[in-house]
Amino acid sequence: MKTRRPFPFVASLAFVVAALAASASATRAQTDAPRAATPVVTSHEFLLQGEVIARNELGFTVLSRGSELQMVRVSRTTSIKKGAETIRLADVMVGDKVSVTLKRGADGNLLAVDVAVRTGFEPQA
């Protein structure tokens, strides 16, 4: 009587399980990885969202949702709004949640075009 060996089936099954595990691990690594700045608004501008953690006379530092620190410079032409009200840089406080449209200046630094300080209750994700 001839005995069948389960080896080819077991080996195939083991390969499929390993491939699925590797795929799930790679997907999890992609979703757990820190995110870069939010998608491009135009080819020269992009959006940054996060919390103001420091401010000085030149601008402020934002801790992005992707856990990255970004120094944001403002100029006289930067529009800063809280709701419908136009405010000054001095009115932006540490702890404020902001959405900033940025562009790269001639010196290579990021310059704020528009700053929107968010108001009201926002549920945390």
The CATH number of residue 50's host domain is 2.40.50.140
Yes or no: say if 37 and 64 are a contact pair by the CB < 8 Å rule: yes
Asked if residue 14 is part of any domain, the answer here is: no
Residues linked to residue 98 through DSSP beta bridges, in sequence order: 50, 117
pTM above 0.75, yes or no: no
Confidence of residue 104 (pLDDT cuts 50, 70, 90): confident
Asked if residue 92 is part of any domain, the answer here is: yes
Question: What are the pLDDT digits (tens) for 9-61?
Answer: 444 545 545 555 555 554 444 444 444 444 444 457 889 999 999 999 999 99
Q: Which residue has the higher pLDDT, 123 or 70?
A: 70
Looking at the 3D structure of the chain, how many domains does it have?
1
Asked if residue 1 is part of any domain, the answer here is: no
- Domain range for 100 is 45-117
Yes or no: say if 82 and 119 are a contact pair by the CB < 8 Å rule: yes
Q: Is the pLDDT score of 7 beyond 60? A: no
